[in-house]
Chains A and B, each alone.
Chain A
Amino acid sequence: MVVESLVTHTVKYPYKTVPLPNGGFDWLPILRVQLSRGSRVTAPFETVIDSGSFDCLFHADIARALGIKDITSGELKMSGGVVKGVQMKTYGHEMRLVIGADTFKVKAFFAEEMPIAGLLGRLGFFDNFTVTFHAGDEPGFELTRVHKKKQSAMSTQ
Protein backbone atom coordinates (compact mmCIF):
# COMPACT_ATOMS: atom_id res chain seq x y z
CA MET A 1 0.00 0.00 0.00
CA VAL A 2 1.30 3.45 -0.86
CA VAL A 3 0.46 6.46 1.27
CA GLU A 4 1.28 10.10 0.77
CA SER A 5 3.40 11.84 3.34
CA LEU A 6 1.89 14.54 5.50
CA VAL A 7 3.85 17.44 4.06
CA THR A 8 3.93 18.64 0.48
CA HIS A 9 5.67 21.71 -0.89
CA THR A 10 4.51 23.84 -3.77
CA VAL A 11 6.94 26.07 -5.62
CA LYS A 12 5.83 28.53 -8.28
CA TYR A 13 8.03 29.36 -11.26
CA PRO A 14 7.57 31.86 -14.07
CA TYR A 15 7.85 30.59 -17.64
CA LYS A 16 11.04 31.61 -19.37
CA THR A 17 11.48 33.07 -22.79
CA VAL A 18 13.34 31.60 -25.75
CA PRO A 19 13.82 33.10 -29.21
CA LEU A 20 11.83 32.15 -32.27
CA PRO A 21 12.53 32.99 -35.92
CA ASN A 22 11.62 36.40 -37.28
CA GLY A 23 12.23 38.19 -34.01
CA GLY A 24 9.57 36.40 -32.05
CA PHE A 25 9.81 34.54 -28.80
CA ASP A 26 8.08 31.77 -26.94
CA TRP A 27 7.35 30.99 -23.30
CA LEU A 28 8.44 27.62 -21.97
CA PRO A 29 8.24 25.80 -18.65
CA ILE A 30 11.97 25.76 -17.97
CA LEU A 31 13.43 24.39 -14.77
CA ARG A 32 16.98 24.47 -13.43
CA VAL A 33 18.20 21.04 -12.38
CA GLN A 34 21.41 19.17 -11.67
CA LEU A 35 22.42 15.56 -12.19
CA SER A 36 24.69 13.64 -9.86
CA ARG A 37 26.47 10.32 -10.10
CA GLY A 38 28.67 9.07 -7.32
CA SER A 39 30.62 12.01 -5.97
CA ARG A 40 30.14 14.08 -9.12
CA VAL A 41 27.44 16.66 -9.49
CA THR A 42 26.91 18.93 -12.47
CA ALA A 43 26.48 22.65 -12.43
CA PRO A 44 22.83 23.74 -12.65
CA PHE A 45 21.43 23.66 -16.17
CA GLU A 46 18.13 24.49 -17.85
CA THR A 47 15.67 21.79 -18.86
CA VAL A 48 12.20 21.89 -20.39
CA ILE A 49 9.28 20.20 -18.66
CA ASP A 50 7.72 17.94 -21.29
CA SER A 51 4.83 15.67 -20.38
CA GLY A 52 5.03 14.17 -23.87
CA SER A 53 8.37 12.62 -23.13
CA PHE A 54 8.29 9.18 -21.55
CA ASP A 55 11.73 9.52 -19.94
CA CYS A 56 14.04 12.28 -18.79
CA LEU A 57 16.35 12.97 -21.72
CA PHE A 58 19.62 14.87 -21.67
CA HIS A 59 22.39 15.87 -24.02
CA ALA A 60 25.31 13.41 -24.05
CA ASP A 61 27.73 16.16 -22.98
CA ILE A 62 26.15 16.07 -19.53
CA ALA A 63 26.86 12.35 -19.18
CA ARG A 64 30.47 13.01 -20.02
CA ALA A 65 30.58 15.73 -17.37
CA LEU A 66 29.57 13.02 -14.90
CA GLY A 67 32.38 10.71 -15.94
CA ILE A 68 30.48 8.52 -18.40
CA LYS A 69 32.96 8.34 -21.25
CA ASP A 70 30.83 6.18 -23.52
CA ILE A 71 27.10 6.78 -23.28
CA THR A 72 26.43 3.68 -25.40
CA SER A 73 27.36 1.55 -22.36
CA GLY A 74 23.86 2.28 -21.04
CA GLU A 75 20.47 0.80 -21.89
CA LEU A 76 19.56 1.48 -25.49
CA LYS A 77 16.11 2.91 -26.16
CA MET A 78 14.89 4.24 -29.49
CA SER A 79 13.03 7.52 -29.24
CA GLY A 80 10.66 8.90 -31.79
CA GLY A 81 9.22 12.34 -32.26
CA VAL A 82 6.37 13.74 -34.26
CA VAL A 83 8.22 13.43 -37.55
CA LYS A 84 7.47 10.13 -39.25
CA GLY A 85 10.43 7.83 -39.58
CA VAL A 86 12.79 9.92 -37.46
CA GLN A 87 14.27 8.05 -34.53
CA MET A 88 17.04 8.76 -32.10
CA LYS A 89 19.16 6.38 -30.07
CA THR A 90 19.12 7.21 -26.36
CA TYR A 91 21.13 5.46 -23.64
CA GLY A 92 19.97 5.12 -20.05
CA HIS A 93 22.17 5.43 -16.99
CA GLU A 94 21.25 5.34 -13.31
CA MET A 95 21.94 8.56 -11.42
CA ARG A 96 20.22 11.15 -9.29
CA LEU A 97 18.19 14.13 -10.41
CA VAL A 98 18.58 17.18 -8.19
CA ILE A 99 15.78 19.76 -8.15
CA GLY A 100 16.27 22.38 -5.49
CA ALA A 101 16.58 20.56 -2.18
CA ASP A 102 15.07 17.38 -3.59
CA THR A 103 17.08 14.54 -5.06
CA PHE A 104 15.87 11.20 -6.33
CA LYS A 105 17.02 8.25 -8.40
CA VAL A 106 16.29 8.31 -12.11
CA LYS A 107 17.34 6.43 -15.17
CA ALA A 108 18.46 9.37 -17.27
CA PHE A 109 18.63 8.84 -21.03
CA PHE A 110 21.28 10.57 -23.11
CA ALA A 111 21.64 11.32 -26.80
CA GLU A 112 24.15 13.21 -28.91
CA GLU A 113 21.37 14.70 -31.03
CA MET A 114 19.49 16.52 -28.28
CA PRO A 115 19.07 20.14 -29.42
CA ILE A 116 18.70 21.39 -25.85
CA ALA A 117 20.23 20.36 -22.54
CA GLY A 118 17.34 18.26 -21.34
CA LEU A 119 13.68 17.29 -21.15
CA LEU A 120 11.96 16.29 -17.93
CA GLY A 121 9.53 13.51 -18.79
CA ARG A 122 7.05 11.24 -17.09
CA LEU A 123 9.39 8.65 -15.58
CA GLY A 124 11.61 10.35 -13.03
CA PHE A 125 9.92 13.74 -13.01
CA PHE A 126 6.15 13.65 -13.37
CA ASP A 127 6.02 10.66 -11.03
CA ASN A 128 7.65 12.80 -8.33
CA PHE A 129 5.81 16.09 -8.87
CA THR A 130 2.32 17.29 -9.53
CA VAL A 131 2.70 19.97 -12.20
CA THR A 132 0.17 22.72 -12.79
CA PHE A 133 0.57 25.00 -15.79
CA HIS A 134 -0.83 28.53 -15.85
CA ALA A 135 -1.36 30.55 -19.01
CA GLY A 136 -2.30 34.21 -19.08
CA ASP A 137 -0.47 37.47 -18.53
CA GLU A 138 2.03 35.96 -16.13
CA PRO A 139 2.54 32.44 -17.45
CA GLY A 140 4.16 29.99 -15.14
CA PHE A 141 3.89 26.64 -13.46
CA GLU A 142 3.71 25.15 -10.00
CA LEU A 143 5.52 22.08 -8.78
CA THR A 144 4.20 20.14 -5.83
CA ARG A 145 6.51 17.45 -4.55
CA VAL A 146 4.59 14.36 -3.59
CA HIS A 147 6.50 12.20 -1.16
CA LYS A 148 5.31 8.65 -1.13
CA LYS A 149 6.41 5.78 1.01
CA LYS A 150 5.52 2.15 1.18
CA GLN A 151 3.70 1.21 4.30
CA SER A 152 5.54 -1.52 6.16
CA ALA A 153 4.02 -4.97 6.57
CA MET A 154 3.99 -4.49 10.34
CA SER A 155 1.83 -1.41 10.14
CA THR A 156 -0.84 -3.22 8.16
CA GLN A 157 -1.37 -5.83 10.84
Chain B
Amino acid sequence: MASTECVMATPTKFDNRVELLRSAQPDSWIALSDDESRIVATGATFLDADSSAKETGETNYVLMRIPDEWLSRALLPTQ
Protein backbone atom coordinates (compact mmCIF):
# COMPACT_ATOMS: atom_id res chain seq x y z
CA MET B 1 0.00 0.00 0.00
CA ALA B 2 1.41 3.35 -0.95
CA SER B 3 1.86 6.14 1.52
CA THR B 4 2.32 9.78 0.73
CA GLU B 5 4.24 12.30 2.75
CA CYS B 6 3.45 15.96 2.09
CA VAL B 7 5.99 18.63 2.87
CA MET B 8 5.48 22.34 2.25
CA ALA B 9 8.64 23.87 0.87
CA THR B 10 9.66 27.24 2.27
CA PRO B 11 7.77 29.93 0.40
CA THR B 12 9.34 33.14 -0.80
CA LYS B 13 9.53 35.32 2.28
CA PHE B 14 10.04 38.63 0.56
CA ASP B 15 8.08 40.19 -2.22
CA ASN B 16 10.95 42.27 -3.56
CA ARG B 17 12.32 39.41 -5.65
CA VAL B 18 11.05 40.99 -8.86
CA GLU B 19 12.76 44.29 -8.11
CA LEU B 20 15.99 42.54 -7.16
CA LEU B 21 16.01 40.62 -10.42
CA ARG B 22 15.14 43.70 -12.42
CA SER B 23 18.08 45.54 -10.85
CA ALA B 24 20.60 42.89 -11.85
CA GLN B 25 22.84 43.32 -14.86
CA PRO B 26 21.44 41.62 -17.96
CA ASP B 27 23.25 38.56 -19.29
CA SER B 28 24.98 37.81 -16.00
CA TRP B 29 24.77 35.47 -13.01
CA ILE B 30 23.68 36.39 -9.52
CA ALA B 31 23.69 34.63 -6.17
CA LEU B 32 20.52 35.26 -4.20
CA SER B 33 20.40 34.80 -0.45
CA ASP B 34 18.40 31.77 0.62
CA ASP B 35 15.43 33.90 1.65
CA GLU B 36 15.69 35.83 -1.64
CA SER B 37 15.88 39.15 0.19
CA ARG B 38 19.20 40.31 -1.30
CA ILE B 39 21.78 39.71 -3.99
CA VAL B 40 24.83 38.19 -2.33
CA ALA B 41 27.15 38.28 -5.33
CA THR B 42 27.25 38.70 -9.08
CA GLY B 43 29.49 37.43 -11.85
CA ALA B 44 29.90 37.10 -15.57
CA THR B 45 29.88 33.31 -15.28
CA PHE B 46 28.34 30.69 -13.00
CA LEU B 47 31.74 30.07 -11.40
CA ASP B 48 32.44 33.78 -10.94
CA ALA B 49 29.17 34.34 -9.09
CA ASP B 50 29.65 31.17 -7.06
CA SER B 51 33.21 32.11 -6.04
CA SER B 52 32.18 35.65 -5.16
CA ALA B 53 29.31 34.37 -3.04
CA LYS B 54 31.65 32.03 -1.15
CA GLU B 55 34.06 34.90 -0.52
CA THR B 56 31.32 36.81 1.27
CA GLY B 57 31.03 33.97 3.77
CA GLU B 58 27.45 33.27 2.75
CA THR B 59 26.71 29.56 2.96
CA ASN B 60 23.10 29.35 1.79
CA TYR B 61 22.46 30.92 -1.58
CA VAL B 62 21.04 30.05 -4.95
CA LEU B 63 22.52 30.97 -8.31
CA MET B 64 20.40 32.35 -11.08
CA ARG B 65 21.07 33.45 -14.62
CA ILE B 66 19.77 36.87 -15.55
CA PRO B 67 18.65 36.83 -19.20
CA ASP B 68 19.64 39.50 -21.68
CA GLU B 69 16.07 40.76 -21.55
CA TRP B 70 13.07 40.05 -19.34
CA LEU B 71 10.44 38.72 -21.70
CA SER B 72 7.42 36.49 -21.52
CA ARG B 73 9.15 33.54 -23.15
CA ALA B 74 7.89 30.47 -24.88
CA LEU B 75 10.59 28.18 -23.62
CA LEU B 76 12.47 25.79 -25.75
CA PRO B 77 11.03 22.46 -26.80
CA THR B 78 13.61 20.14 -28.34
CA GLN B 79 13.33 17.61 -31.08
Q: Do A and B come from one complex?
A: yes
Q: CB within 8 Å of B: which residues of A?
A: 4, 6-14, 16-21, 25-26, 32, 42-46, 48, 50, 52-55, 57, 59, 61-62, 64-65, 77-82, 88, 90, 109, 114-117, 119, 121, 144
A64 adjacent to B46 (CB under 8 Å): yes
**Chain B window 56-77, contacts with chain A (Cβ cutoff 8 Å), 1 for yes, 0 for no:** 0000011111011011111111
For chains A and B in complex, what number of residue pairs have CB atoms within 8 angstroms? 138
Q: Which residues of B contact A90 (CB under 8 A)?
A: 78
Q: Are A19 and B22 in contact (CB under 8 A)?
A: yes
B15-60 residues with Cβ-Cβ distance < 8 A to A are: 15, 17-18, 21-22, 29, 31, 45-47, 50, 53
Known: A48-B75, A57-B78. 9 other contacts (CB 8 A): A11-B6, A14-B9, A14-B11, A19-B70, A20-B72, A32-B62, A42-B50, A42-B63, A115-B68
